[in-house]
Amino acid sequence: MQSYVLVISLLLMIVVAAVFWWVVGHSAANAEHEPIRHVEGYRNGLFRGLVVLGIVVAVGTLRPWPYGVSAADDAVIVTATGSQWSWEIAPQEVPVGRPITFKVTGDDVNHGFGVYDPDGTILFQTQAMPGYVNQVRYTFTKPGQYRVLCMEYCGLVHHDMIDKIEVK
Ligand code: CUA
């Protein structure tokens, strides 16, 4: 099956390449181009404007992402390890308004570390995988009791892999 897909893909690529080849080969002829020459300036301006708009939108929407945050700040480190079928979270009490870096791993199989606010809305989640430490950064803005639920089916008692984080 996969080799058919490969052959079909290659054939289609050859067709596309042939079309490009034909277009490039015929683009030197000026006769068809002459009647629309007056839109060229407008089109170039539109293109440059769209490039600038794209850069502004990309930079503007990427800037608030957390990836630029340095590790050498005053973040509280919380380690969380999932194992069948409980969490080991330390410390379980964290301050409100300070960035928390969760370092999440798994002991046996894959688990999902999901944190819910007191109203039951999920705030963030990451995988708890054996052999890997995934990091999530979060700043709690309200005190309360937050729930930790396993987000990945990990066996018989998956549904009971519930713990809590106290934000004070
Ligand atoms: Cu651990 Cu589901």
- Predicted confidence (pLDDT) per residue in 128-165, tens digit: 999 999 999 999 999 999 999 999 999 999 999 999 99
Of 60, 59, 138, 128, nearest to 96 by C-alpha is: 138
Expressed in angstroms and rounded, the spacing between residue 149 Cα and the centre of ligand 1 is 8
Expressed in angstroms and rounded, the spacing between residue 87 Cα and the centre of ligand 1 is 9
Looking at residue 141, what is its pLDDT?
93
Of 147, 136, 66, nearest to 101 by C-alpha is: 136
Expressed in angstroms and rounded, the spacing between residue 129 Cα and the centre of ligand 1 is 11
Complete edge-to-edge strand list for the sheet that includes strand 76-83: 86-90, 76-83, 99-106, 134-139
Pocket residues: Cβ below 6 A from ligand 1: 82, 85, 111, 150, 152-154, 158, 161
> Is the pLDDT confidence value at 6 over 60?
yes
- Predicted confidence (pLDDT) per residue in 67-122, tens digit: 555 555 688 999 999 999 999 999 999 999 999 999 999 999 999 999 999 999 99
Q: What is the mean pLDDT of residues 21-49?
A: 81
